[in-house]
Amino acid sequence: MTTEQILISAVLCIAMLMFGWGRWRYDLVAMSALVACILLGLIEPDKAFLGFGHPAVITVAAVLIISSALKNAGVVDEIASRISHLTETPIMHIAALTAVITVASAFMNNVGALALLLPIALSTCDERNRSPALILMPLAFGSLLGGMMTLIGTPPNIIVASIRAEHAGEAFGMFSFTPVGLPIAIIGGLFITFVGWRLIPKERMQTNTANKLFEVGQYLTEAKVPSESPLVGKTLGETDLGDSDGAGVEVIGVAGKRRFARAVRASYVIREEDILILRAGPDELRDFLDQHSLELLSSATPAFVKPDPENEVMSEGVVSNESMLIGKGVEYIREETGRTVALVGLARNGRPVTQRLRQQIFRAGDVLLLKGDTSNIDEHFRKLGMWPLASRPIDLDRTRRVAVASGIFAVAILLGIVGFTSLTTAFLLAIMAYVLFGILSARQIYDDIDWPVIVLLAAMIPVGNALTTTGTTQLVADSLIEWTQGFPIPVVLTLLLVVTMLLSDVINNAATALVMAPLGIAMATALNVNADPFLMSVAVGASCAFLTPIGHQCNTLVMGPGGYKFNDYWRMGLPLEIIIVAISVPLILFFFPL
């Protein structure tokens, strides 16, 4: 080995150990590896940061932004709401949620898909009185299986496609991964549904951790009936609005524009500009507002200083025992915050809340939903003596645009498939459309990018290239080929797949793909065969992080809510990986001949 090959191998090995140790965040480890390569003369300084403009990096960032847009528009929520009745038995519960996240993960970032389905899974577990441990690991594994099916499903596929473009002049297409990924997802999903969940330790099933640390309950909120609402001219009885068992929303009173709230009967005819006094949970309220075209009201007066729409946020907080709000009303919030914060909802355990928001006298323990500016909302919470609740999405005033968001996304995919433009450019066009239609704000574009992942990719791409420029990948490939000399090529592919899988279980899957894809090409070149089967083996292996909670963010996300321990993952993950190896190698060789 040359000095350069020894140095790059040492840097990479140290980086891998640091990734696996987890002591420092992976983006810092990746950037440290990049700086080390620059200082050792392995990467030219003027080329060290070209990774930030690499198509793979831009595409990953775009996918994260589009995932947020689809969430804002209610696309995945719409799908999930249609399967709530399919959770009666444990197998139906697992099958329904795993199927939804598998399909969703094929067309959006799998971490984003899990983030959307996780609250639904916890809610349905609570409703069915089941432990989240039954559902959450299958859900995480389903998201990884779904990501294998398309180019955009997971970062390793994007990375492998980009490396193929550099090697062969043409990247893998949107659905090039589908012939292999789809059968894996189907068979893997069936294993998870009927066998895999039974391998989770039984003691995890005995504790229901779905219950929240703090139960918000139902908010008292107000909504105005605009002229275009389908409720105008109908009675409460005709609309079932008084049925609290229906949509989870109850109309407890009606007020005119300047009237106090009063109780109403089922025969009351709803008029334009009526203000409905609603009792509802935050999850049900948004759907209710959208369904009936109602406008959410707040305690704001004409003098209310509206925050910049780009910085507007809704936050929940609890009135503490020492809060200045106790015994006071809405006007006190207005005065203390300079009329920059508005009360949108109030939740109170104990006596029913039936009066209008402006008539409320606050008590210790009340949960307030406030609208204000993200730059100072925390300071107002402190000043008012409130404890902020754990962050969660509160977007009651955001209009659902399922059809528009889905259409924009479909057009972007179509433009990439037919070759009108690159998929990266198509996604950037989609993001611009989402901003123009108000589905995304300009601020969200930056907030929704997982910057540590972007730094990881941008830093490791030149480090991975250094493996090639120093001849290290070719040296390793030659060594592997010499070691497996006389072995059938399917055995060599299997070895590459298994090594990639094991690496993916201890370090980030994107980093695994960046390291192993050039190695796969080098092995194919040395064997004088088509590199596509080797690249596809790397893509599949990099997505199979089923043995540990640190191999993939999805596994880590469900560890706490599911009450899992580190050693729980391999019980279901090991047989799943064995099944994937058994079916993927024949599929790869069939669809990507040597």
Give CA separation, 369 vs 130, 223, 333, 556, in Å.
30, 14, 12, 30
Question: What is residue 367's DSSP assignment?
Answer: E
The CA–CA distances, whole Å, from 2 to 41, 349, 466, 471 equal 14, 72, 14, 9
Does the pLDDT at position 350 exceed 80? no
- Indicate the residue type of 505: D
User: pLDDT tens digits, residue range 115-168?
Assistant: 667 767 877 787 778 888 899 999 999 999 999 999 888 889 988 998 999 888
Cα separation, 28 vs 30, whole angstroms = 5
Pairing of strands 312-319, 386-388: antiparallel
Could you tell me the sign of the dihedral formed by the alpha carbons of 569, 570, 574, 577, in that order? positive
pLDDT band at residue 248 under the 50/70/90 scheme: low
Q: Which two tokens stand for residue 561?
A: 């809510």
Domains annotated for the chain, with CATH where assigned, are 219-296 (3.30.70.1450), 312-388 (3.30.70.1450)
Binned at pLDDT 50, 70 and 90, residue 564 comes out as confident
Residue range 393-421, pLDDT digits in tens: 455 555 567 889 889 988 988 887 777 88
Give the C-alpha distances (Å, rounded to integers) separating 142 from 3, 146, 148, 181, 259.
Answer: 44, 6, 10, 12, 53
Q: What is the mean pLDDT of residues 480-487?
A: 79
Say which residues have a Cβ less than 8 Å from residue 352's Cβ, sequence separation at least 6. Answer: 252, 279
Maximum distance among all Cα pairs of the chain, rounded to whole angstroms: 89
Candidate ranges 339-353, 522-536, 560-574; pick with highest mean pLDDT: 522-536
The string over 45-58, giving b where at least 16 C-beta atoms fall within 10 Å of a residue's C-beta and e elsewhere, is: eeebeebeebbbbb
pLDDT over 80 at 302, yes or no: no
What is the total residue count of the chain?
594
551-571 burial: b if 16+ Cβ within 10 Å, else e: bbbbbebbbebbbbeeebbbe
Distance between CA atoms of residues 485 and 201, nearest Å: 42
Provide the 10 A C-beta neighbour count for residue 158: 29
Rounded to whole angstroms, how far apart are CA atoms 416 and 44? 33
Amino acid found at 421: T
Q: In the block, which residue shows the tokens 């929303």?
A: 249
Residue type, 208: N
- Residue 155's alpha-carbon distances to 61, 108, 179, in angstroms, are 10, 11, 18
- List pLDDT tens digits, range 166-203: 888 888 888 999 999 999 999 999 999 999 999 998 87
What pLDDT score does 390 carry?
A: 46
Positions of E strands within 232-361: 249-255, 275-280, 295-296, 312-319, 342-347
Per-residue pLDDT at 143: 92
* 586 pLDDT higher than 90: yes
Are the C-beta atoms of 460 and 48 separated by less than 8 Å? no
What totals of helices (H) and strands (E) does the chain contain, helices first?
23, 8
| Residue 343 bridge partners (DSSP) | 370
Q: For 561-575, what is the HEC assignment? A: HHCCCHHHHHHHHHH
Q: Which two tokens stand for residue 51?
A: 């990774």
Please, what sign has the CA dihedral across residues 356, 359, 363, 369?
positive
Q: How far apart are CA 296 and CA 395, in angstroms?
A: 11
Which of 314, 365, 364, 310 is CA-nearest to residue 341? 314
Is the pTM of the predicted complex or chain greater than 0.75?
Answer: no
| Spatial contact of 223 and 230, defined as CB atoms under 8 Å apart | no
Q: What is the pLDDT of residue 174?
A: 85
Structure tokens at 130: 């089941």
* Backbone phi, psi, residue 322, to 5°: -100, 10
How far is the C-alpha of 241 from the C-alpha of 235, rounded, in Å? 9
Interatomic CA distance for residues 242 and 265, integer angstroms: 9
